Amino acid sequence: MALKIYGIAASRAFRPLWAAEELGIPYEHVRLHYNDPSLKEAPFRGINPNGTVPAIDDGGLVLFESLATTLHLARTRPEGGLWPADEAGHSQVLQWTLWAATEAEPLARQWFHHTTFLPPEARRPELAEAALGQLQARLRVLDEHLARQPHLVGEHFTVADLNVAAVLQRLADLGGEACHHAMAWHRRCWSRPAAQRALALRQAA
Ligand SMILES: N[C@@H](CCC(=O)N[C@@H](CS)C(=O)NCC(=O)O)C(=O)O
């Protein structure tokens, strides 16, 4: 198989899995858990020297960073419809992806860790609260943009929508309920058949 995706679907590997499902690319799914000690050793270190998932191997090109993997898959299969046709659209895809990675994900992660992921004794509710407070201004930016157009870039669903919706998977819990346009967009993204197929992989894992 030309494309390999490393990482269980209940990890950020969900992102390239969703992209591959959208694009209709056949792939081999290597279901490595993020707690698997083999992530920190050879040979996996040769695939992702960070010792984390996801990583992909696309016909010999090996990449890490989940959002870079989705950009790569979308860009190299423009016929799949996730990559805009024009230069302005390419730049806007990068803008929203970097926004997701730098403005949204660190805060969403801080909230998730201190409400859910860490063992209860290690959680600090004040850090969860602070993250939620800082996220509200970012979510207003998203909501105002989506009040003007149904997708983040251009007329159609693109990899920008996939990346931002995936990073903000728990939008409703993150204070998104007040952002009606963003919530409606989020529901549209997550109800796509490809997103549902990728979600089903979580159940299978
Ligand atoms: N920025 C990286 C983060 C990768 C990451 O932290 N992955 C988690 C799973 S979602 C992991 O493998 N954690 C294991 C560890 O940190 O040891 C990306 O988006 O790919």
- 45 CA → ligand 1 middle, Å: 13
Q: Identify the residue whose C-alpha is closest to ligand 1 atom 2.
A: 65
Q: What is the CATH topology of the domain spanning 3-81+195-204?
A: Glutaredoxin (3.40.30)
H/E stretch holding 16 reads helix 14-23
- Name the DSSP class of 205: -
Task: State residue 204's pLDDT score.
Answer: 76
Fold agreement (3-81+195-204, 87-192) = no
CATH 1.20.1050.10 holds for 87-192: yes
Q: Indicate if the pLDDT at residue 16 is higher than 90.
A: yes
What pLDDT, in 10s, does the model give residues 154-203?
899 999 999 999 999 999 999 888 999 999 999 999 999 999 999 999 98
Q: What's the mean pLDDT in 7-22?
A: 98
53 CA from centroid of ligand 1 (Å): 5
What burial letters (b/e) apply to 123-157, b meaning 16+ CB within 10 Å? Answer: eeeeebeebbeebeebbeebbeebeeeebbbbeeb
CA–CA gap between residue 157 and residue 185 (Å, rounded):
10
- Say yes or no: CB of residue 66 within 6 Å of ligand 1: yes
110 within ligand 1 shell (Cβ under 6 A)? no
- Mean pLDDT in residue range 36-52: 98
Which residue has a Cα nearest atom 5 of ligand 1?
52
Ligand 1 pocket check for 11: Cβ under 6 Å: yes
User: What pLDDT band is residue 25 in, cutting at 50, 70 and 90?
Assistant: very high
Single-letter amino acid, residue 194: A
* Spans of all domains in the chain: 3-81+195-204, 87-192
- In tens, the pLDDT along 104-149 reads 999 999 999 999 999 999 999 999 999 999 999 999 999 999 999 9
